[in-house]
Chain A
Amino acid sequence: MADSGLQAEVTAERPQTSRFWRNVRRNPLDLIPLLVLILLILMVVIGPFLYPHDPARANPLSTLDSLSSEHWLGTDELGRDVFARILSGGRVSLAVGLLSMLVGLSIGTVIGGLAGYFGGKLEAVLMRLVDMFMAIPSFFLILVIVTSFGNHPAVVIITVGLAFWAQMARVVHAEFRKFRKTEFVEASQALGGSHSRVMVRHIFPQVLPQAVVLASLGVGWAILTEAALSYLGLGIQPPLASWGNMLQNAQQYLFLKPILAVWPGIFIGVTVLMFNLLGNTLRDWLDPRN
């Protein structure tokens, strides 16, 4: 008997990890997006130290070179190494994607949570704010902010996050509203738990899975948005490379060197695809009906 009691204690302690491994065993292919993303991140973080070319160094003697063992993906119109630019551009694109999602996630969770938990006038005011942000198509909002505050990378990160937070706030708001009147919340309040304690310790963990799924899909969206913005010349500025602004010049060389337009697109596409697949997998795993 003592034996089985111990067993129960151990499983009760790690329900999340055991569920994770059960899911992995059932469908090991689900791990692929996660592995590819880890690989990509390692590549852009460590790659620049191993690959011997400076992404910003122009070389007028070897412009628009084809693939070679010296320049793995050839060189661009200024003779800069394309693979080196993919690596350092990837750092920028991934960092902007992840950080801006963190901005959107934080603002959205705080505002959605406050509105859903307290209700009343606060809810009415905050949700009109959400309506306002939902009514401006994200790209126009971004253009307004970038016009006003320039395109420093930090501005780009905050801006892309601002274009996303309303969506997150809506989801979090609905969840907090749902839990506001549940018994475990009332119990915790009756026991003297402060509002912030109830919100952070009791309701937030219930909302987290949904927020994580939305955030994972959101990172993909943020990377696409940054790329489009930089492609239009309004995001990350050269000589700093990003996958988006690499495509800006490539379009002018479509006739001469079409392959230049292919590489950044493939890296953006694969990265976003993996974040989307990861989001779908997480949604399936966290779905209580499963």
Chain B
Amino acid sequence: MLVYITQRLLQGVLVLFLISVFTFFLVNLAPGGPSSLIDFQSTGAQREARIKQYGLDKPVHTRYLSWLGSALRGDLGTSINQGLPVASLLSQRFLKTLQLAAAALLLATVFGIILGVLAALNRNGFIDQIVSVVTTLGMSIPNFWLGIIVILFFSVQMRLLPASGSYTIGAEFSLADRLRHLILPASVLAFSLMPNIVRVTRSALLEVKASDYVRTARAKGLVERAVLWKHTFKNALVPVIAMLGLITTVLFSGSVVIESVFGWAGLGRLAIEAANGRDYPVILGVTMLVGSIVVLVNITVDLLYALVDPRLRHG
């Protein structure tokens, strides 16, 4: 088990290292340069000074090593356009994305599992077909377009919910106000996340229902409800948990778009601002942070698996 954990952690570190090399070199070898270097009002001397300040006069592998050195100590450099440390920008924005992602994950999991279970219990029936229509739509409708449409309906027409931001500017802090701002973006993000969960839940449940141990449970005379709760659902949850890594990447990708539609100041917005402003240290920092989270989630899932599965524990 210890060997397995170490192996898995080392693999994770290797993947993170690869991501950092790939991103750093891509960003640094690209034509052009940081946006402030293309500033037409600055004099040649100012430009030279900036090049010195960001260390752009050194060769790229030296720059990478010095970036890596400070990154390991928690210093990800300074934003070119905002002048703030990248690390503090990231921690500010990350909290916002975490709120949105957690709310969306909660909604998507609850509704996804309910729909998946309903579909599996009514296999090929009416409910199953309705669920299949809903999930196919969730996969096909652009989430940002859905965002625009719900803004149109709930904010412009009905005037029920705020269209953008995460709180009312100038008002005092109130939980109700925060939640009201969260409802629309979280629901839209959840809607594009849900199809995955529904499908996996449905097929896992069908597979478990057809398995030998469920047949045994039935044969020994357990009532149907006990079979479902004690033997089926618990085992059907495993594939859903196994999918958490994929879900995290979908959540992050989705948040980039949804945060823009709803003016939500999270990591996704930060990445887009950085991309538009060619703010290299920021785009590098965001990618590293997001990549680390995905790698961590994947490792955690694998370890959980190993804990649950005795074959891996003793193997």
The segment out of B58-66, B209-217, B286-294 that lies at the interface is B286-294
Query: A136 — nearest CB in chain B belongs to which residue?
Result: B291
Q: Is B142's CB under 8 angstroms from A269's CB?
A: yes
Partner of B260, one of A129, A140, A149, A232: A232
Cross-chain contact B23 with A144 (CB below 8 angstroms) = yes
Question: Which chain A residue shows the least CB distance to B258?
Answer: A228
Please determine whether B151 and A129 come into contact, CB atoms closer than 8 angstroms: no
Determine whether the beta carbon of B30 is less than 8 Å from that of A234.
Answer: no
Please, which residues of chain A bring their CB within 8 A of the CB of B303? none
Chain A residue, CB-CB nearest to B139: A276
Chain A's closest residue to B145 (CB) is: A265
With most chain A CB atoms within 10 A of its CB, the pick from B15, B22, B31, B268 is B15
Q: Nearest CB to that of B20 among chain A residues?
A: A132
Q: Which residues of B, 178-215, contact A by the 8 Å Cβ criterion? A: none
Stretch at the interface among B36-44, B81-89, B120-128, B249-257: B249-257
Q: How far is the CB of B310 from chain A (nearest CB, A)?
A: 25
Count of B interface residues, CB-CB < 8 Å: 54
- Among the listed B15, B30, B152, B249, which residue makes an inter-chain contact with A261, where contact means beta carbons less than 8 Å apart? B152
Say yes or no: B140 contacts A231, CB within 8 Å. Answer: no
> How many Å lie between the Cα of A138 and that of B286 in the bound state?
13
How many residues on A have C-beta within 8 angstroms of the other chain's C-beta atoms?
45
A227-B287 CB under 8 A given contacts A132-B18, A139-B253, A234-B276: no
Whether B257 contacts A273 by the Cβ 8 Å rule is no
- How close is B268's CB to chain A, nearest CB, in angstroms? 8
Known: A149-B31, A255-B156. A139 touches B275 (CB 8 A): no
Interface residues of B in 4-19 (CB under 8 A from A): 11, 14-16, 18-19
Neighbour of B271 across the interface among A140, A233, A262, A280, CB < 8 A = A140
Q: Does B274 contact A (CB under 8 A)?
A: yes
**B149: contacting residue among A145, A148, A261, CB under 8 A:** A261
**B275/A220 in contact, CB under 8 A:** no
Q: B15 to A132, Cβ gap below 8 A?
A: yes
Interface string of A142-154 (1 = CB under 8 A from B): 0111111110000
A143 to B145, CA, bound (A): 20
**A269 CB contact (under 8 Å) in B18, B145, B250, B261:** B145
B47 on interface, CB distance cutoff 8 Å: no
Decide if B140 touches A220 in the complex (CB within 8 Å). yes
Q: Are B144 and A140 in contact (CB under 8 A)?
A: no
Chain B residue at minimum C-beta to C-beta distance from A146:
B275
Q: Is the CB of A268 within 8 A of B14?
A: no
B250 to chain A, nearest CB (A): 8
Hey, which chain A residues are within 8 Å of B18, CB to CB?
128-129, 132
A239 to chain B, nearest CB (A): 19
The 4 A-B residue pairs whose C-beta atoms are closest, nearest first, are A148-B30, A265-B145, A273-B140, A139-B253
22 A-B residue pairs with Cβ-Cβ distance under 8 Å, sorted by A, are A135-B15, A135-B295, A137-B249, A137-B252, A137-B294, A139-B254, A139-B268, A143-B256, A144-B27, A144-B283, A148-B29, A224-B142, A233-B276, A234-B272, A234-B275, A247-B144, A265-B149, A272-B141, A273-B137, A276-B139, A277-B136, A280-B136
